[in-house]
Each structure stands twice: as structure tokens, then as C-alpha cells.
């Protein structure tokens, strides 16, 4: 089922699973490769919903100076590796620009990525086919996934 309200460009993007580069902890099971508009050399992954209990917010909120978004660093809960950041309070220009609505970012240098496959394990999953976070049981509730077949 296609996701409503998502730009077609994002619907075609691959879903990736991200692992902490220092300990292998899965910090994200529904990531999207993104490139910062301000700095196209920086590779990032974004997600709408990190798995619960995989990462933690660390340190005080800050802003990058490029805009007024309030940001907090995100660290791997197992080893403390700072692997990304969370936009805790997006600023107005960012909210109104074309974006995928993702407020969690992961640095490509701090995580390793794997393409996520569909339920049958045959094709690479794309965002247009990904269930909403609350219906996405990937990785933790295998039994429920099998019942849906």
C-alpha cells in the first residue's frame, strides 16, 4: 500500500537497516539515504522512527548555526558511540521546505548500512511499500509477520 503524503521521490528510495559501526547494535531498521542540501558531501541516513531502546539522546540541545532547528545528539545505547542527531524542534523554513518529514539522522561514518528486503526476502524494500512505523514489526515480532501472510 503506498504511503499517503510522501513525495514520489522518497517512495522510490531504498529502506536500509543501520548498525552501529563500533558494536553492531541495530540503531535503525527503517532508514533512508539522504544528502544534506547545505552540504552535499555529507552523507546521512534519516528515519521517521528509531527502534525503541536502541539509541538515546545525549547532551544539551544546540543549533547548527545554519538555521534555527534545535538538535540533540543521538548515541548508541550499547556503546555510547554518537551516531547521529535528532531534530527536537524543527524551524519554520525547514518545516516548509520539501523534506521527507524525518527528524532522526544518522552519520554515514558512524553506522554501516544494509539494504532491507521485503517480507518474502526477495526484493529490496522501498519506502513506498514500507508500513507505517506502528505497523512495522520488522526484527522484533516475527510471529506477527508470519500471521499476516
Could you say whether residue 78 binds Zn ion (CB under 5 A)?
A: yes
Could you say whether residue 25 binds Zn ion (CB under 5 A)?
A: yes
Q: Tell which positions 89-108 bind Zn ion, by CB under 5 A.
A: 91, 94
* Exposure on the CB side of residue 72, measured as CA atoms within 13 A: 12
Question: Between residues 77 and 119, which has the closer beta carbon with respect to Zn ion?
Answer: 77
Question: Between residues 79 and 124, which has the closer beta carbon with respect to Zn ion?
Answer: 79
Could you say whether residue 117 binds Zn ion (CB under 5 A)?
A: no
Q: Which residues bind Zn ion (CB under 5 A)?
A: 20, 22-23, 25, 67, 69, 76, 78-79, 81, 91, 94
Amino acid at each position: 500500500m503506498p504511503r499517503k503524503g510522501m513525495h514520489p521521490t522518497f517512495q522510490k528510495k531504498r529502506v536500509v537497516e543501520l548498525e552501529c559501526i563500533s558494536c553492531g547494535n541495530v540503531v535503525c531498521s527503517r532508514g533512508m539515504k539522504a544528502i544534506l542540501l547545505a552540504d552535499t558531501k555529507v552523507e546521512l541516513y534519516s528515519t521517521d522512527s528509531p527502534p525503541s531502546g536502541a539509541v538515546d539522546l545525549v547532551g544539551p540541545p544546540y543549533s547548527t548555526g545554519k538555521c534555527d532547528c534545535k538538535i540533540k545528539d543521538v548515541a548508541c545505547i550499547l556503546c555510547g558511540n554518537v551516531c547521529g542527531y535528532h531534530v527536537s524542534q524543527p524551524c519554520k523554513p525547514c518545516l516548509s521546505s520539501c523534506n521527507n518529514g524525518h527528524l532522526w539522522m544518522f552519520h554515514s561514518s558512524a553506522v554501516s548500512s544494509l539494504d532491507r528486503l521485503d517480507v518474502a526476502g526477495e526484493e529490496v524494500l522501498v519506502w513506498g511499500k514500507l508500513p507505517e512505523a506502528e505497523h512495522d514489526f520488522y526484527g522484533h515480532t516475527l510471529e506477527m509477520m508470519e500471521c499476516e501472510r
